[in-house]
Amino acid sequence: MLDFEALNALALEAGFTHAAPLDAGTIELKDEVRDMCGACGVYNHNWSCPPACGTLDELRAKVAGYREGILVQTVGELEDQFDGEGMMEAQENFKDSFTALHDRLAQDYPGLLSLCAGTCTRCKKCTYPDEPCRFPDKRFSSMEAYGIVVMDTCKANDLQYYYGPNAIAYTGCFLLK
């Protein structure tokens, strides 16, 4: 059983605004979510995204190896719902926190599976498909690339998802073993 108090402290230390224990049994990988990736501009342009990140059946088998983890969130305040600058700032904060916590957890959990929000942006230009990924141990797929409905997963694990029209939440998770 994970020590959630300790994990929560690490999440806050990394800069996240919220965290919650994650029961891996609540995670569903849905074809209809994954199918939406086809309409995204980075589909087939990044090692962390479909189709390069694996088929949904392959990812289901991967996730089935976990029992628990932690959900993490960065909630940013916006001036209004068109505040693009505020959204980008919150997203950058989320990614910085995500990388920091991934690196910290990897020390204690070598089997860590880290699922982020959005495509991998570690390199200015992804090497896909011409060269292998530069940082295979440090790239993150998104929860959506795994076919996960983030809102449903938050709800099933008692983590708020919507914070009102003047806020934006970026959510990711770490599965641990």
Candidates 79-87, 99-107, 131-139, 146-154: pick the segment binding ligand SF4 (CB under 6 A): 131-139
Each residue 35-54 as x (binds ligand SF4 by CB under 6 A) or -, in order, gives -----------xxx------
Q: Which of 94, 139, 142, 170 binds ligand SF4 (CB under 6 A)?
A: 139
Q: Which of 64, 77, 135, 162 binds ligand SF4 (CB under 6 A)?
A: 135
Cβ-based nearer residue to ligand SF4, 84 or 136: 136
- Whether the CB-CB separation of 133 and 47 falls below 8 Å is answered with yes
What the block records as the tokens of 131 is: 């060269």
Strand locations in 62-177 (E):
68-77, 113-116, 141-142, 167-176
**Phi first, then psi: what are they for 133, rounded to 5°?**
-60, 135
| Cα separation, 111 vs 137, whole angstroms | 11
Q: Which of 116, 126, 159, 169 binds ligand SF4 (CB under 6 A)?
A: 126
